[in-house]
Amino acid sequence: MRIDKYLSNLKYGSRSEIKALIKANKITVNNQKVSDSGLNIDPAKDIIKVFEEEVLYRENVYLLLNKPSGYLSATKDNLHKTVLDLIKAPFNRFDLKICGRLDLDTEGLLILTNDTEFIHNFTNPKKDILKKYYCLLRDKLKDFEVITKGVILKDGKGEDYFTKPCKIEPIDDYSCYIYLSEGKFHQVKRLFQYINNEVVYLKRLAIGEYNLPEELKLGEYLEFRKEEKLCKKQ
């Protein structure tokens, strides 16, 4: 791949700006100054530096984020901060997408990646991937068995749908874990509204095999590989 195209794709600047950086001797490949913006490089093998900082090479990036309340699960928004505002260099140079959204006021586990196949597998309803949430309720937890069997709710378009069975594991009188394999519009909150209760705090703790580490603070994230354990905090 041409070095100007490669660095432009990683948001180091336009091709003309990359050319200007090369002319100013700010870019090296394998510790050699680059003189040609059309130089062909192998990102997987060559060591590329911009302003003496090594360019991170990843074909696919996977981040596990502990989302704080007040951040929108979107790539951009004119009214609210988005979860991508939490991602710093070098990972903010990648075209990250959100794998499994959360409400504005909901905290917890989000996965960000540029791997579209990974996103499809995690968001495909046919996969029945289990999600675990912690719920703090306004009133005492009671009469919840009815919603574990499935109930009729309205979706985001106002149409009726029958929820899939879910599991509720009480913690104490006012809190519980809820496990469900779908994520309709405000589903957890509206399940408890169905039994005249209200979720006052909601946090997602797991998506499938990916669990939210206890030591990961709100707003922090981890890079992970699909085949490996989680790496260090960022």
pLDDT above 90 covers what percent of the chain?
Answer: 78
DSSP class per residue in 115-178: -HHHHHHHH-GGG---EEEEEEESS---S-HHHHT--EEE-TTS-EEEPPP-EEEE-SSSEEEE
Contacts of 156 (CB under 8 A, 6+ apart): 184, 185
Other CB atoms within 10 Å distance of the CB of residue 170: 12
pLDDT at 184: 84
Cα 120 from Cα 127, distance rounded (Å) = 10
pLDDT at 156: 75
Q: pLDDT confidence of 231, banded at 50, 70, 90?
A: very low
As a whole number, mean pLDDT of residues 43-59 equals 93
For residue 4, the 8-state DSSP code is H
Cα 222 from Cα 230, distance rounded (Å) = 7
Q: Which of 46, 77, 85, 103 is catalytic?
A: 103
pLDDT at 40: 96
Q: Please give the helix or strand (H or E) that residue 5 lies within, else none.
A: helix 3-9
pLDDT in tens, 153-204: 987 788 899 999 999 999 999 999 999 998 888 899 999 999 999 999 999 9
Distances in whole angstroms, Cα of residue 100 to Cα of each of 6, 110, 122, 123, 204: 29, 6, 7, 6, 10
Note if 143 is an active site residue: no
Query: Is the pLDDT score of 144 beyond 50?
Result: yes
